[in-house]
Amino acid sequence: MIHAGSPAPKLSEAAAGTLPLLACITLSAVLMVADHRGDLSPRVRGAISTAVEPVWRLAALPAAAWRWADTALSRQQVLADETITLRRELQLRDAQLARLEAVARENQRLRALLGGKGDFRLAVQMAGIVDVDLDPWRQRVRLDRGSAEGVEVGQAVIDAGGMLGQVVQVSEHGATALLLTDASHSVPVQLVRTGLRLMAVGTGTSDTLRVPNIPQSADIRAGDLLVTSGIGGRFPAGFAVGTVRAVGPDDTRLFLVAEVTPAAQLDRGLEVLLVMRGEIDVDVGPPIPADYRDPAPVAAGGAAAAPGAAEPRQ
């Protein structure tokens, strides 16, 4: 365990360590404050992220190998059964989709009759979740698409169930998305049944959202569905956020607080969809602020994109 031959400890060494320590503490404190306040240029973080990208790729390897082995070694019968189940499900979805398409076409026609310019088409981009465990104190996922593939900070992330979160940081070939359930995340929502507008905030646990500050008189009960309201323009309207699980008085007894089960599969699934920002429907939600200038006033559909950003449309 203990080896002779290494130099004997010098007394001055311990004393000399204090100055570098102070330097380290100061530097860290400055960095932390800057990062916490958001003063740090995203380019700095992006650059370091690109540098540590290999670490994430490497960390995701064992799980990927495990999945590959699981597929390669599982019995044929199991796979065949799974295929049959999936095929049935696909048929069912196809039927539903065909009906939905008819409804969408009808909707389009009616909108044209009414003279509205709203467009509910949705451009999405698929992204995979890199299988790494980020800091357990925060609810985040790492995605394998980055700025090179057109991902931007602020894009909404959804899955088949509903809202998942939003992109908070982008590097060249990867991005970090903050989940709905992170304690620092909140999303404007609306009750489907009554139209009541609320805010849903994360709790830090992956199966619960909180909706605080509901007036006592509000009509809300367990089982109600919440969807995004589109207010604020960051999230497109109409995506399922969750179902109310329980409603009760808050600590002050002046307001109600609701517990919500998220609609998206926050801790399952390996693929998500990124909503292209140009497709956010400006017809839904509050009026556009007066100082907002539409970059392309004649463009059909909602052009809520930042000026100069040209998104591909489907």
User: Where does this chain bind another protein (CB under 8 A)?
Assistant: 1-3, 5-7, 9, 13-14, 17-18, 20-21, 24-25, 27-32, 34-36, 40, 45, 48-49, 51-52, 55-56, 58-60, 62-63, 131-138, 140, 176, 183-184, 204
Q: Which is nearer to another protein, 13 or 70 (CB)?
A: 13
Which of the 8 DSSP states describes residue 2? Answer: -
Residue 72 Cβ vs another protein, minimum distance, rounded to whole Å = 19
Closer of 177 and 220 to another protein (Cβ): 177
For residue 291, the minimal CB distance to another protein (Å) is 32
Smallest separation (angstroms) from another protein to the CB of 224: 27
CA 3 to each of CA 8, 142, 161, 245: distance values in angstroms, whole numbers, following the listed order:
11, 44, 60, 62
Terminal-to-terminal C-alpha distance of the chain: 66
Identify the H or E element spanning 233.
none
Closest CA to 121 of 302, 259, 256: 302
Q: Which residue number, 111 or 173, has a Cβ lying nearer to another protein?
A: 173
Q: Which is nearer to another protein, 180 or 280 (CB)?
A: 180
| Residue 177 host element (H or E) | strand 174-179
Q: DSSP character for 214?
A: E
* Beta carbon nearer to another protein, 135 or 251: 135
Cα separation, 31 vs 308, whole angstroms: 32
Smallest gap from residue 175 Cβ to another protein (A): 12
State which residue, 19 or 310, has the beta carbon closest to another protein: 19
In angstroms, what CA-CA distances link 155 with 38, 140, 146, 226? 18, 14, 12, 20
CB of 186 to another protein, least distance (A): 14
d(Cα 181, Cα 167) in Å, to the nearest integer? 14
Sign (positive/negative) of CA torsion 181, 186, 190, 196? positive
Please say which residue, 28 or 96, places its beta carbon nearer to another protein.
28
Please state, in angstroms and as integers, the Cα–Cα distance from residue 201 to each residue in 20, 232, 261, 262, 277, following that order: 41, 15, 12, 11, 22
Closest approach of Cβ 23 to another protein, in Å?
9
- Provide the minimum distance between the beta carbon of 108 and another protein in the complex, in angstroms, as a whole number: 42
